[in-house]
Amino acid sequence: MISEAVENILLKNADCFLVSDEKVAHVMDENPLTHALLMLTQVKYTRIPVLNREGHIVGLIGLSNIVNQMFDLAEIDPSNLEGLLVKDVMETEVPIITDPFDVEDILHKLVDHPFLAVVDEYNCFTGIVTRREILKSVNHLVHEIDLENH
């Protein structure tokens, strides 16, 4: 358990924690892998969410998943991607949290994951919470603690 005081400081900017789905690049599970490759070269994230037609998050995909698929022994052959869909190479282990946030849970999960997917009560993808956004609040916290102690 963390105290209410600490939780409140960390949650002060909770509105900013969530990088909303409109701002997060994603691909569909039935998209051709070549589409995902193009997409991933244009975004700053290493891995992006994979959604199904219902708007549920079903996986994550990154350049490494696709480049691995192109390798033929030590040679790289883009024709290996032909016919493959995003769902054929995506990672299916996705760290998920629900809004409203539990800060303690977020802090723990972000140790092992660069970002967490956020879903609503219908299990639909609404955005992500990143290490970057939480670190902004931590910067705020370490200063705030001192002000309160003085």
Site string for a second copy, 63-102 (x = CB under 8 A): xx--xx-xx--xxxxx------------------------
Geometric angle at alpha carbon 45, from 8 and 136, rounded to 5°: 25
Q: What are phi and psi of 103, to 5 degrees?
A: -60, -40
Indicate which single residue of 22, 41, 82, 122 sits in contact with a second copy (rule: CB under 8 A): 41
From the CB of 21, what's the least distance to a second copy, in Å? 22
Of 111, 104, 94, residue with least CA distance to 29: 94
Report in angstroms how near the CB of residue 38 gets to a second copy at its nearest. 7
Q: Does 136 bind a second copy (CB under 8 A)?
A: yes
6 binds a second copy (CB under 8 A): yes
Q: Least CB distance from residue 99 to a second copy, whole Å?
A: 21
d(CA 150, CA 144) in angstroms, rounded, equals 10
Helix (H, G, I), strand (E, B) or coil at 60: strand
8 binds a second copy (CB under 8 A): no
Amino acid occupying residue 127? G
